[in-house]
Amino acid sequence: MLNQWETPLFHALLKHASAEPKPFHIPGHKKGKGMNPEFRDFIGHNALSIDLINIEPLDDLHHPHGIIHEAQELAADAFSADYTFFSVQGTSGAIMTMILSVCAPGDKILVPRNVHKSIMSAIIFAGAVPVFIYPELDKKLGISHGITPASVQTAVQEHPEAKALLVINPTYFGVSADLKLIVDTAHQSGIPVLVDEAHGVHIHFHPDLPLSAMQAGADLAATSVHKLGGSMTQSSVLNVKKGLVDPHHVQAVMSMLTTTSTSYLLLASLDTARKYLATQGERLLEQTIALAESVRKEVNAIPGLYCPGREMLDSNAAFALDPTKILISVADLGITGYEVEKWLRSQYNIEIELSDLYNILCIISFGDDRSDTDFLLRALRNLSETFVGAGKLGSPVSIHLPDIPVLAIPPRDAFYAPTETIPFEESAGRIIAEFVMIYPPGIPVLLPGEVITETNIVYIKENAAAGLPVQGPEDSSLEQIRVIKEARPIR
Ligand SMILES: Cc1ncc(COP(=O)(O)O)c(C=O)c1O
């Protein structure tokens, strides 16, 4: 019987540090003695004393058989997985592992179009062929939700040879599809389900939150413990259910993609975050949900602002909600979400999670209390008074979403094809060879292999003009874009 109150990895590191062995191994800063004193004094002795490496007593993430193995077993038990593998390369690393574990060159993978760039990067590395499933769009808010079980059913029928289905659950905005039905649909055809659970580590630990990937019976889930589960930035887990995937192969692929210099600070923070979630998670999340719901109610009483709740759940693509995500539509104020982000920064020293043309997103976690949310609400009331007072209310920003482009050739072929750069303004109709995304959330508007349309160009330029960071192209000024060279006709 495993004991979730134990932290074997963290505990062993503390024991090792307190015994003060003489280190003739890397890291060369030797508990901070060989480090720039400015940084050493800032970060402190405790952290540096456990910034260690995979020496014999401390096990090895690439071949766990001691304290890392024990910590991963406890994590698997907490997440109801058969196996859990720790990632020190974020959820991006875990996502690449999932895809490279199941796809060989030329294999088809079913994916929603609104995926994070790590998924498209992995598809390029694997040489897989994406079959895109269109996500449901919320035209009122200007955001994408998940995919419907019906569209999964169609995709599975049309492409029964697909090697995997990838699902985002929940979305950045806290919306989940009917994951159980999606998993069952894919499994009926023997297709494994991989879940991007970057925004859902906590949902496993409270019954009122959407079903987690492991609860819904998915095969693999890449889960950002660092985002909402209390571990340090960059630390994530890959949860595995055996059956349709081979856990040992998954582990081997993960090792191929992982640094040999794994950070024990990150690993220890995963061990301790797992204990906190498993033993205190439900109680902490109960408070967090109540706090977030009261913020939602109060935001909705502020003129010009709208914070959607369960009323937006009107299909099985928008089926369940994580209420701790406070999405606020600011379109009725007549200013963009990015302008609101900058205003909150300059007037209140508040940093939000993200903004787009129409919305801002604030995350409430068990690191927040009533005084934090009261401060946010004060700022939002002042925001409304300022812009309603300026007569902007009543001229709402009009909402439109980018066209989903047509994929002309597989992303890997586009990535390796002979290319040329041309003015972005004149690129409509050409096949793009690079990514263009608005960051965050890092979902590509265009990805290698897609045909650029005039409306994509307008949409991207509109976001750039509003000040939102457009990333991906080699030419960050967006004047030039890399496209596939077209063969000229021979006379
Ligand atoms: C939907 C989604 N998937 C994957 C990732 C990658 O996670 P990480 O930053 O842990 O690599 C992110 C990051 O923001 C994300 O939003």
Lowest mean pLDDT among 33-42, 363-372, 452-461: 452-461
Cis, bond preceding 441 (omega within 30 deg of 0): yes
Q: What pLDDT score was predicted for residue 476?
A: 86
**Measured in angstroms, how far is the CA atom of residue 224 from the centroid of ligand 1?**
7
**Ligand 1 midpoint to CA 402 (Å):** 21
Mutate-to-test residue for ligand 1 from 95, 97, 99, 116, highest number of ligand atoms within 8 A of CB: 116
Residue 395 has pLDDT above 70, yes or no: no
| Model pLDDT, residue 404 | 79
pLDDT band at 192 (very low <50, low <70, confident <90, very high): very high
Sign of CA dihedral 185, 180, 113, 238: negative
Is residue 185 predicted with pLDDT exceeding 90? Answer: yes
pLDDT of residue 95: 98
Residue, of 107 and 398, whose pLDDT is higher? 107
pLDDT at 350: 98
Q: What is the 2 CA–ligand 1 centroid distance (Å)?
A: 30
At 22, is the pLDDT very low, low, confident or very high (cuts 50, 70, 90)? very high
CA–centroid distance, residue 394 to ligand 1 (Å):
36
> 69-87, pLDDT tens digit by residue?
999 999 999 999 999 999 9
Tens of pLDDT, residues 45-72: 999 999 999 999 999 999 999 999 999 9
Asked if the model's pLDDT at residue 139 lies above 90, the reply is no
Yes or no: say if 320 and 312 are a contact pair by the CB < 8 Å rule. no
Q: Which helix (H) or strand (E) holds 321?
A: strand 320-321
Type of residue found at 33: K
Residue 133: is its pLDDT beyond 70?
yes
Give percent of the chain above pLDDT 90. Answer: 85
Q: Is 116 in the pocket of ligand 1 (CB under 6 A)?
A: yes
DSSP 17-83: HHT-----SS-TTTTTTTS-HHHHHHH-HHHHHT-----GGG--TTS--SHHHHHHHHHHHHTT-SE
Q: Which of 9-13, 61-65, 142-146 has the lowest mean pLDDT?
A: 142-146
Ligand 1 atom closest to Cα of residue 227: 10
Q: How far is the CA of 439 from the centre of ligand 1 (A)?
A: 11
| Owner of token pair 């094809």 | 417
pLDDT score at 142: 84
Q: Is the CB of 288 under 6 A from ligand 1?
A: no
Please provide the average confidence, as pLDDT, over all residues in the chain.
Answer: 94
Torsion sign, CA atoms 247, 273, 260, 107: positive
Q: Is the pLDDT of residue 394 over 60?
A: no
Cα distance between residue 307 and residue 295, in whole Å: 9
384 C-alpha to ligand 1 centroid (Å): 31
Please compute the mean of the pLDDT values over residues 213-240 and round it to a whole number: 98
Say if residue 377's pLDDT is above 90.
Answer: yes
Q: In the predicted model, is pLDDT for residue 91 greater than 60?
A: yes
Any ligand 1 atom below 6 A from CB of 236: yes
Measure 325 CA to ligand 1 centroid, in angstroms: 16
How many Å apart are CA 330 and CA 309, to the nearest integer? 15
Residue 452: what pLDDT? 95
Whole-number Å distance, alpha carbon 29 to ligand 1 midpoint, is: 31
Q: Where are the alpha helices (DSSP H) in 246-404?
A: 247-257, 264-299, 337-348, 370-389
Average pLDDT over residues 425-438: 92
The more confidently predicted of residues 392 and 194 is 194
Q: What is the pLDDT of residue 467?
A: 83
pTM of the model: 0.94
Residue 115 CA: nearest ligand 1 atom is 1
Regarding the beta carbon of 172 and ligand 1, being less than 6 Å apart is answered yes
Q: How far apart are CA 156 and CA 284, in angstroms?
A: 39
| pLDDT tier, 310 (very low <50, low <70, confident <90, very high otherwise) | very high
Q: Is the CB of 144 under 6 A from ligand 1?
A: no
In this prediction, residue 400 carries a pLDDT of 67
Establish whether residue 235 lines the binding site of ligand 1, counting it when its CB lies within 6 angstroms of any ligand atom: no
Q: Which of 187-201, 370-384, 393-407, 439-453 has the least mean pLDDT?
A: 393-407
- Ligand 1 pocket, residue 223 CB under 6 Å: no
pLDDT of residue 140: 86
Res 440: pLDDT: 59
